[in-house]
Amino acid sequence: MMFGAHVSPRDYLARISAVQEQLDLAETEALADAVHRAYENGKFVFICGNGGSGSNASHLCEDLGKSSLTRDKFTDDSVKRLKVLSLTDNTPYILAWGNDEGFDRIFVEQLKNLASPGDVLIAISGSGNSPNILNAVEWANRHKLETFGITGFTGGKLRVMAQNGIHVPCDDMGIVECLHLQLFHWVLDDLHGRINEVGRYAPAQPLRKAA
């Protein structure tokens, strides 16, 4: 379904707002807690997805890796950083596994090289049924990683297989991916606040209008 093909921009945004009201935000807080634990314990956070979800994986990886710190800490080599990697971004590696062994193994085979018990896997699939995502989560569960399935629609197999997750109950992929990214931005902000000790859940400040 492509809801925006039939409605105005205002109605499209109203639908997004309606879906937002159905979210279980404790799921998002649990993801933020897991990422912060990984930071505290020196564990890796791995992220994977296909298509738009793959783009969200790359975006989240970049945000967590860079924007979790304040600018004054960038040149301080003593500052601990989050170990985070998007499994969507090593194109030659992905193509080699996809061509030689099958597209369903492009993520799990990378985990076999890189992952250790206690690491975190954030697996994003709107449908919840992408074979390469499910293979990665199945392996990660068996090897004692903490797994999060980020889903839409009905959640598919991923919602059941992953140990934890964020579910967006909507049958429009664009809205699902939009809300995934919106929640990821909050996870980033929360991590930034914890790492840089600016305080959690402070009173909201008024938004400033762009010049």
Element (H, E) at 44: strand 44-49
Does position 149 have pLDDT exceeding 90, yes or no?
Answer: yes
205, part of any domain: no
* Alpha-carbon distance values, 55 to 62, 68, 125 (Å): 11, 19, 12
Q: How many helices (H) and strands (E) does the chain have?
A: 8, 5
170, part of any domain: yes
Does position 135 have pLDDT exceeding 90, yes or no?
Answer: yes
- The CATH number of residue 150's host domain is 3.40.50.10490
Tell me which residue has tokens 């009173």. Answer: 203
Determine how many CB atoms are found less than 10 A away from the CB of residue 158.
25
Across the beta sheet with 164-167, what order do the strands follow? 83-86, 44-49, 120-125, 146-151, 164-167
Element (H, E) at 2: none
Is the separation of the CB atoms in 169 and 146 below 8 Å? no
209, part of any domain: no
210, part of any domain: no
- Structural domains of the chain, count: 1
Backbone φ and ψ for 46, nearest 5 degrees, come out as -105, 145
Q: Place 153 in a pLDDT band, splitting at 50, 70 and 90.
A: very high
147, part of any domain: yes
Query: What's the one-letter identity of residue 154?
Result: T
Determine how many CB atoms are found less than 10 A away from the CB of residue 20.
15
* Nearby residues of 139 by Cβ (< 8 Å), 6 or more positions away: 108, 111, 112
**Can you give the residue range of the structural domain that contains 148?**
21-68+79-193
122, part of any domain: yes
Report the 3 state secondary structure along 144-168. CCEEEEEECCCCHHHHHHCCEEEEC
Does position 78 have pLDDT exceeding 90, yes or no?
Answer: no
- Residue-level pLDDT at 208: 65
Q: Place 199 in a pLDDT band, splitting at 50, 70 and 90.
A: low
Is the separation of the CB atoms in 123 and 106 below 8 Å? no
203, part of any domain: no
Mean pLDDT of 149-154: 98
Is the separation of the CB atoms in 18 and 171 below 8 Å? no
pTM of the model: 0.93
204, part of any domain: no
